[in-house]
Chain A
Amino acid sequence: EAGVTQSPRYAVLQEGQAVSFWCDPISGHDTLYWYQQPRDQGPQLLVYFRDEAVIDNSQLPSDRFSAVRPKGTNSTLKIQSAKQGDTATYLCASSSGTNERLFFGHGTKLSVL
């Protein structure tokens, strides 16, 4: 069984630049999460989907961040104008139905200079 796939693995930006992260969840998993994990902190939820619907995006900085999952499979997280405070690892995870087990991708490590 293929795991959760994320790309790119690393990204380095100047402030003000844009970047997109891509996630391919485990096939058949209906729930997809995006977490931001700053160094030495726990994952912090940005947004999560069930199928193509956004269930919670209350922690997503909507002025610069956006996330979509148009067909209920792959998902893209975009930062429109990056800031140094966005430096973190961005983790995608998926789960199936009511199963509490989340499967995480290896993450995208973002550095904003």
Chain B
Amino acid sequence: GQGVEQPAKLMSVEGTFARVNCTYSTSGFNGLSWYQQREGQAPVFLSYVVLDGLKDSGHFSTFLSRSNGYSYLLLTELQIKDSASYLCAVRDGNTGKLTFGDGTVLTVKP
């Protein structure tokens, strides 16, 4: 089967950074995506990674370690509006299914 785990909550301070962790298990890994979901709204795509290492996309960076089944989303220079749920999703290359974690609710305080 496939499992995606994320911590439920994370708190950080405006102007600093936050790291949202994701661990996964799958029989046929074929990429990992991150989505942002604000309260009452639809998920919005942020990033996709399939190779190991750090992918820098400015405000958001994404790290992947396939051997450890681990990824993180790094948000820098946090703003209050970055407060949202961040969802990790893993693609199974055998079934094609995209499985989401339950999300990490990030609260950015002044």
Contacts and interface: CB of A to CB of B under 8 A. Distances in A.
Interface of A: 33, 35, 40-45, 48, 55-56, 91, 100-107
Nearest to B96: A55
A105 B37 CA distance: 12
A100 B33 contact: yes
B42 A107 contact: yes
B100 A42 contact: yes
Contacts, number: 47
Q: Indicate the member of A45, A48, A100, A102 with the most B CB atoms within 10 Å.
A: A100
B45 A42 contact: no
B98 interface: yes
B28 interface: no
A42 B97 contact: no
Given A42-B103, A107-B42, A56 B48 contact: no
Contact of B42 (A41, A42, A101, A106): A106
Contact of A43 (B31, B41, B43, B96): B43
Given A100-B48, A103-B45, A33 B102 contact: no
B95 A41 contact: no
A48 B99 CA distance: 12
A103 B33 CA distance: 13
Given A42-B102, A43-B87, A45-B99, A106 B45 contact: no
Given A45-B99, A56-B96, A102-B35, 12 more contacts: A33-B98, A40-B102, A42-B4, A42-B102, A91-B42, A100-B91, A102-B33, A102-B45, A104-B42, A104-B43, A104-B44, A106-B41
Interface in B50-98: 87, 91, 95-98
16 contacts: A41-B102, A42-B4, A42-B101, A44-B100, A45-B97, A45-B99, A45-B100, A55-B96, A100-B91, A101-B45, A102-B35, A102-B98, A104-B43, A104-B44, A105-B42, A106-B41
Of A43, A56, A102, the most chain B CB neighbours within 10 A belong to A43
